[in-house]
Amino acid sequence: MKVVSTAVEIQALARGYRDTGLTIGLVPTMGWFHQGHLALMKEAGNRADKVIVSLFVNPIQFGPDEDLDNYPHDLERDCKLAEEVGVDLLYAPNKEFMYPDGFSTTVHIAGLTSGLCGGDRPGHFDGVTTVVSKLFNQTLPHVAVFGEKDFQQLAVIRQLVRDLDFPIEIIGHPIVREKSGLAMSSRNSYLKKDEMNAALSLSKAIACAKRAAGEKQDISVQEIRKIVTDVILAHPECGIDYIEVVDKTTLQNCEVVNSDSMLVLAVKINKRIRLLDNSIIQGN
C-alpha cells in the first residue's frame, strides 16, 4: 500500500488507474479505524479495481466546543489496518495543504442540512460537503462508500453528487455493530467502562421501538419517541440531542410511521461523547 499526502500525487496516481481502464473506489475517513471502517474498505474493493482511503480530520466540520483537538489518531496503526484489507492508496493530507492561506470556498446544501445534526451543529455539513468535494476532485473515484450510521451525512452527500453532477456512485453501507449492539464509532474509544451501559441505551431503545412497531401496526410517531426517550433517559448519563422519525429519503419528519420511516437519534454521554444511531422502524 502506498501512502501519499498531496493532491498532485494522488491525482497522478488516480489518473494512471483511469488511463489503464481501472475503476477507483474511495472511502473518506477521519482515521482511528475500526471494523466499521474496514467493512467500508472491503465494500469498495468489491465494487472497484483500486481502493483509495482518505484520512483527514477535517477541522471545518467541527464546532468551537467539539472534540477536534482530542480526536483519536494513529497513522501507523491505521496504515497497517488498511493494508491488511487490501487498500491500494492511503491519502493523508495535512490541514495546511487542504486549506491553504486564502482558502475561501464553501459548499452549502440547503434543506437536508437544516435539522437533526445540522440543527445541533451549525456549519457542520458545510464543512463535510466542502471537504468531500475536494476529496472527489483529488481522488477521481468511480464509486465512494459511506457508512449509514451517519445517515444524514449520507443523504447530504447523495444530494451533493446529484446537484453538482459528480460522476460518482454513492454506496451506503449498513451500520456495523459491536457484539453488544453498540454502533461502531471512533468516538467509542472515549467511553469509560462505567459509561458503556448508557451508550448501549441507543441500540436498546431502537430495538424496543422496532418491537413495539411490529406488535402495533398503527403505532404513532409520538409513541415511538416516548419509548425511545424512556429507555435512554433511564440512564442519568444520557442527554438527548434529538430523537426523530423521518422519511428515509427526504429526512422530513414523518406524521405517521410507515415502511419508509427512519428512527434517528443523537445522544451525549456525560456531555462529552456524542453518539449516533438509526434504523428503519418497520422491517429489518
Bridge partners for 152 per DSSP: none
Asked if 181 and 200 count as a contact pair (C-beta separation under 8 A), the reply is: yes
Measured between alpha carbons, how far is 48 from 174 in angstroms, rounded to an integer?
18
- Selecting among 37, 124, 142, 173, the annotated active-site residue is 37
Q: Which residue has the cell 410507515?
A: 258
Of 67, 51, 47, nearest to 59 by C-alpha is 67
Q: What angle do CA 138, 141, 146 make, to 5 degrees?
A: 100
Catalytic: 37? yes
Measured between alpha carbons, how far is 45 from 262 in angstroms, rounded to an integer?
28
The amino acid occupying position 149 is K
Of 3, 2, 5, nearest to 93 by C-alpha is 5
Asked if 281 and 260 count as a contact pair (C-beta separation under 8 A), the reply is: no
Q: What letter does residue 212 receive in the DSSP assignment?
A: H
Give the chain's length.
284
Number of helices and strands (H, E) in the chain? Answer: 9, 9
Residue positions annotated with a catalytic role:
37
